[in-house]
Each structure stands twice: as structure tokens, then as C-alpha cells.
A and B are shown apart, each in its own frame.
Chain A
Amino acid sequence: MSALARTLPIRAFDVAEIRMDFPILSRQVHGKPLVFLDSAASAQKPRAVLDAMTQAFECEYANVHRGAYWLSEKATTNYEAAREKVRAFINATSDSEIVFTKGATDAINLVAASYGRMVLKPGDEIVLTALEHHSNIVPWQLIAEQTGAVIKVVPINADGSVSVDRFADVICAKTRIVAVAHVSNVLGTVLPIELIAQLSHKVGAKLLVDGCQGIVHEQVDVQALGCDFYAFSGHKLYGPNAIGVLWARAELLAAMPPYQGGGEMIAIVTFEKSTWAEAPAKFEAGTPPIVPAIGLGAAIDYLNGIDRTAAAAHERDLLHYAMAELPKVPGVKLVGTAQNKASVQSFTMDGAHPHDLATVLDRSGVCVRAGHHCAQPLMDVLGVTATARASFGIYNTRGEVDALIVALHKAREVLQ
């Protein structure tokens, strides 16, 4: 934990108090209180994040790692302090293992393009699961096409869970890279990362974890997880968008070639040849997302300032409440009921397309995601074209689950 976070007292978890920290939650939409149940797509931001970013722009803004003047030095210090906050937050051994990217998609593309191109030979295998979203599928397809590698998919069970045995069936001596979600964005399933890491390492493969949803709901310790790469985005973690993180083991980053060329990532440039800076600078070509990184640091401070164990218990309570109440609405079926789940719940309603549902719910102020959730292959596996999805963050309440249920009854009336 960073020095700053350690000095802040940890507040007891009180959802009413948490809600006061998020300015947007007091607004209305369509004349109704906002019921925001789409944090899995992008979470709302606490005042602390907004203030930190305003402060950075208003008082401490200049380009980083360049200026010989005080303001640039200050901006650099703030930017690098954010990197240290991320390191502590995920328990990485060194802040040189923290690469700032534009987002999680960018981080996965970085690994596919750099590490993938470095190690993959024709016939080598990349192992994914059937529940991945497009950003953990398409980068691997691109690199497979370029290298002649082959993609293998671990199937899921009917309840949305993934059995370790199925990984054991697919991972083999040809496997070079295993890339899986920590938590499914559609089903909420939590994957057994430690066990998948063991299976991957047994055959000499590296494990990338797409932590977009995972890091939001639980305290992540990358060393304990045992993975080799962990990618996540800032905007799902109550931080700003346009900032993401790739954590990778130092020895991997040292061996990997640059992903993009430009300023910041070089040591010496001549027209004959250039040499690269050390990681993480090697992977941060151009002016980085300075203020978004500072905003992410503020989001991490914010989370460190609340009782995250209690916050996780609160989210679990909302999930279990929703899982109990949703099926009481006639025609509503839950999609994704694995034992180990984060607070994300997909569902369908007989005779109502999720898109129509979302439109009617919106008029009650209730925001849910409807569609394929950027996971079309998973929709095919589930045998649906789309689902509706409610996802719960630290600021949601049982009262908001009730509002969703009331709105669903109304939707039934309108759509039947």
C-alpha cells in the first residue's frame, strides 16, 4: 500500500455515505432517480477522482519526462506516483513492471503483438475460453494469422462455470500462451486463476489474465495469482477512461520487443538504428495519458480508503438479492449461475428482446446493458443473440434492485 494510502484512515463501509461521493448518482433521468446498473461497462467516478484530475490540469500540468523546469518535474512526479499506487494495489514487486496503456484492450494487444510475435511459431497454440469478450479474442486472432499459431477454446459448463479439468484437456505441449478473463463480463463467473496458472506453467506456457472485471470486485495480488500478465482498465475501477494497465513479470518485459515506436521509449536514436529504453518506458511511446493516470491513482487511493472486504460483501449481497428476486418476475431467466460469481447478472425475459427491455427500463431511470456484451462467441454458446445485464458496484443498493424489478414488471406490461 502506498505511503499516502496508509496515512488515510479506512472508513467503515456505509453505502449511503459512498453514494454521496459520486456526484452523478444524485441526478435524475427521464424525471426518475438514476439507477445505474451498468458499472461493468464503465463505472461512475467519485468526487476524489474528478478533483484530482482538475487539480492536475489546473495547477500541475506539463508534459512528463521532458522538461527541465519545475512544473514538468511536478507532473512527472505525480504520474510516476500513480504508477507506484498501481504497483502497491496489485502487489507487483517493482513499479517498472507497471506499463500504462490506453486501456485493457490496448494492454492485451501489446502482449499479443510483442510477446506473441516473439514466441509464436506455426502450429503453436493459444488457449482462450468460450466466455472471453472480443478484446481477449481478436488480438490473438490477429497474431495467430501473422504467425501461423492456432487458437484453442476451453468450453464452459451450462451454468457459466469453467472446470479446471477442461483446461487440462486443452492445454498441451504446443500451448505457448493462455489468455483468460479473471471474471466474465457477461456471466460474472470467477475463473480459478491460480490453478490455470499451474497448468499453464507445467507446459511452459505464459498466462495472461484479463482483469477488467476481476480487479473491480476483489483485492488482486498478481504474485499470489501466479499469472504472467495482468491487464485492466481504469474506467471500470471508478477511475477515468483512456488509461489502462499492463502488469507483466520484469523478465518478460525485458525480453519483449517494443510494441509501438516513438518518443519516450528510446535510449539513442540514429537513422541507422535506435536502442530502446528499459521497461516500462519501452512500452510507452509518445506522450502518455498523464492526467488519466493521475486520476487512476486517485481512484486507487479512494478504494484504499474504504473497507474493501465490506464493499465486496455488499456487492455479493446485491448479487444474491438480485439472483433471488429476478426469477420471480414472470418469464425472467438468469444467465450465468456459477457458484463463484462476481456481482454481474445477465438475464432474459421470454417474449421480450433485451434491447426492447433496456429501452423500457431506461424510461424508469434504470440503466442496464443489453446486447451481446462484446462477446458474440459466448452468445452462440449460450444459444441466445443477446442478454440484458445488471452489474452492481460499491454504490448500488437493494432499493435499486427493487427499482429494477418494478421496471421489469412494467416492461412485461408494455411488451406483452
Chain B
Amino acid sequence: MTALAQVEADDLKALYQELILDHGKNPRNARLVEHASCTAKGNNPLCGDRITVTARVNAAGVFEDVAAEGKGCAISIASASMMTEALKNLPVATGRQVFNAVQQLCTGKIDVAAAKAMLPATLNDEIEKLASLGGVKQFPVRVKCATLPWHTLLSCLDGQADATTEKV
């Protein structure tokens, strides 16, 4: 295998690592939240992927439950699945910081260590997991796939009904 071919193969492995494939095939919390306080549909007009994110935020501003269901590629479904796990029981404000970190990981602006430094140490394990989404940084057209669920959640929190990947 040539050096370039090896790099390409490694890029693919980094994108489709086991954790991503596992969450892509067996998404956690692929349902609708009961008594949701916010709901939004996300849509990637490029590929037609659609996702519905629902969440219940309590009076203290904490995510009691987050769920995402829809159709999409391995990257968007895995990202949605990991998002629902990472955000449960987190204050909404911290959740927004997590999104910020994920977005920067996916575009290659920061590495895992920098992402950890942005957030409380209790989230280190979750950040390790979410960092697997960072493989998309070598595939610019796929960044939107990874961020779609997060944008959808954000528009749900901000009281908008819909999100599209045109906001990256």
C-alpha cells in the first residue's frame, strides 16, 4: 500500500470507528420523549436525512430526558445517539458548551484535550466518546452529518420547530 493510500485507509478507520458503527446501528434513545418540553425536526437537504429531537427540561434547567429518532447515515445517527446519552442530567447551559466543543472537534479546530479543558472534569469520559465524531474533520462534506442532531437540539431549545444543516 502506498503512503497516501495508507493515510486514506486510516482516515476511513478514524471516521468509521467501532463506537460510531455501534451507535449508528444500535442508536440509544431512538424514540420520542414523553411530555417533551421541546421538539424539533432536523433536515439535511443534501441527502434527505431527517431527524426528530425531543427533550424534557425541568424547572431547574436540567435535561431530564433527551431522545432522537429518524433516518440518516451512520455519522448522523451515531452523533444523535451519543448526544442523547451525553446530555442526560446535564444543565442546559453545560449542554450548550458540550455542543460548542463537539462542533469544534468536528471541524478540527480543537483536540480532545482542549475539549476536556472547556468542560467540567466530570464530563471527561463523555468527551472521549464524543471525540470519535472528530473523524469527520478529514471529510468536510460530512461535518454537517455529525452536527445535524446538535443543531436540531439547539433549535428545539431556542423554540424553533426546525433546523437544517445549512447552519453548520
Partners in one complex: yes
On A, residues with C-beta under 8 Å from B are 30-32, 351-356, 359-360, 363, 370-372, 376, 379, 385-386, 414-416
Contact yes or no, A353 B4, CB < 8 A: no
> Do A385 and B50 form a contact, CB below 8 Å, given A356-B74, A363-B11, A363-B12?
yes
Task: With both chains docked as a complex, state the minimum distance between the C-beta of B59 and any C-beta of chain A, in angstroms.
Answer: 37
B145 in the interface, Cβ–Cβ < 8 Å?
yes
User: Shortest 5 CB-CB distances between A and B: which pairs?
Assistant: A372-B48, A31-B4, A353-B73, A355-B73, A371-B47
Contact yes or no, B11 A414, CB < 8 A: no
Chain B residue with minimal CB distance to A355?
B73
> Do A371 and B21 form a contact, CB below 8 Å, given A359-B139, A363-B11, A414-B16?
no
B residues less than 8 Å from A351 (CB atoms)? 25
Interface residues on B, range: 20 to 34
Contact yes or no, B21 A386, CB < 8 A: no
Query: A30 CA to B145 CA in the complex, in Å?
Result: 22
Query: A228 CA to B14 CA in the complex, in Å?
Result: 54
Contact yes or no, B142 A359, CB < 8 A: yes
Contact yes or no, B25 A355, CB < 8 A: no
Task: With both chains docked as a complex, state the minimum distance between the C-beta of A347 and any C-beta of chain B, in angstroms.
Answer: 16
B residues less than 8 Å from A371 (CB atoms)? 46-48
B71 in the interface, Cβ–Cβ < 8 Å?
yes
Task: With both chains docked as a complex, state the minimum distance between the C-beta of A372 and any C-beta of chain B, in angstroms.
Answer: 4
Query: A379 CA to B145 CA in the complex, in Å?
Result: 19
Contact yes or no, B47 A355, CB < 8 A: yes
Q: Which of B48, B49, B50, B71 has the most chain A CB atoms inside 10 A of its CB?
A: B48
A residues less than 8 Å from B101 (CB atoms)? none
Task: With both chains docked as a complex, state the minimum distance between the C-beta of B164 and any C-beta of chain A, in angstroms.
Answer: 14
Chain A residue with minimal CB distance to B139?
A359
B2 in the interface, Cβ–Cβ < 8 Å?
yes
Contact yes or no, A353 B11, CB < 8 A: no
Query: A351 CA to B16 CA in the complex, in Å?
Result: 13
Query: A396 CA to B8 CA in the complex, in Å?
Result: 24
Task: With both chains docked as a complex, state the minimum distance between the C-beta of B152 and any C-beta of chain A, in angstroms.
Answer: 16
Contact yes or no, B48 A30, CB < 8 A: no
> Do A386 and B47 form a contact, CB below 8 Å, given A356-B74, A359-B15?
yes
Chain A residue with minimal CB distance to B11?
A363
Within 8 A of A (CB), among B2-60: 2, 4-5, 8-9, 11-13, 15-16, 21, 25, 46-50
Query: A31 CA to B142 CA in the complex, in Å?
Result: 20
Residue contacts A-B, CB under 8 angstroms, 6 given: A359-B12, A363-B9, A386-B47, A386-B49, A414-B13, A415-B16
Contact yes or no, A356 B73, CB < 8 A: yes
Contact yes or no, A356 B46, CB < 8 A: no
B residues less than 8 Å from A356 (CB atoms)? 16, 73-75
Contact yes or no, A385 B71, CB < 8 A: yes
Contact yes or no, B12 A360, CB < 8 A: yes
Contact yes or no, A385 B48, CB < 8 A: yes
Contact yes or no, A376 B48, CB < 8 A: yes
Query: A414 CA to B12 CA in the complex, in Å?
Result: 8
Task: With both chains docked as a complex, state the minimum distance between the C-beta of A135 and any C-beta of chain B, in angstroms.
Answer: 15
> Do A30 and B16 form a contact, CB below 8 Å, given A355-B47, A356-B75, A371-B47?
no
Contact yes or no, B74 A353, CB < 8 A: yes
Query: A376 CA to B49 CA in the complex, in Å?
Result: 11
A residues less than 8 Å from B139 (CB atoms)? 359
Task: With both chains docked as a complex, state the minimum distance between the C-beta of B4 and any C-beta of chain A, in angstroms.
Answer: 4
Query: A347 CA to B63 CA in the complex, in Å?
Result: 40
A residues less than 8 Å from B73 (CB atoms)? 353-356
Task: With both chains docked as a complex, state the minimum distance between the C-beta of B48 and any C-beta of chain A, in angstroms.
Answer: 4
Task: With both chains docked as a complex, state the minimum distance between the C-beta of A415 and any C-beta of chain B, in angstroms.
Answer: 6
B72 in the interface, Cβ–Cβ < 8 Å?
yes
Task: With both chains docked as a complex, state the minimum distance between the C-beta of A186 and any C-beta of chain B, in angstroms.
Answer: 12
Task: With both chains docked as a complex, state the minimum distance between the C-beta of A363 and any C-beta of chain B, in angstroms.
Answer: 5
Contact yes or no, A415 B2, CB < 8 A: no
Query: A363 CA to B13 CA in the complex, in Å?
Result: 12
13 additional contacts, CB 8 Å, given A353-B74, A354-B73, A355-B49?
A30-B8, A31-B2, A352-B74, A353-B72, A355-B72, A359-B15, A363-B8, A363-B12, A385-B50, A385-B72, A414-B13, A415-B16, A416-B21
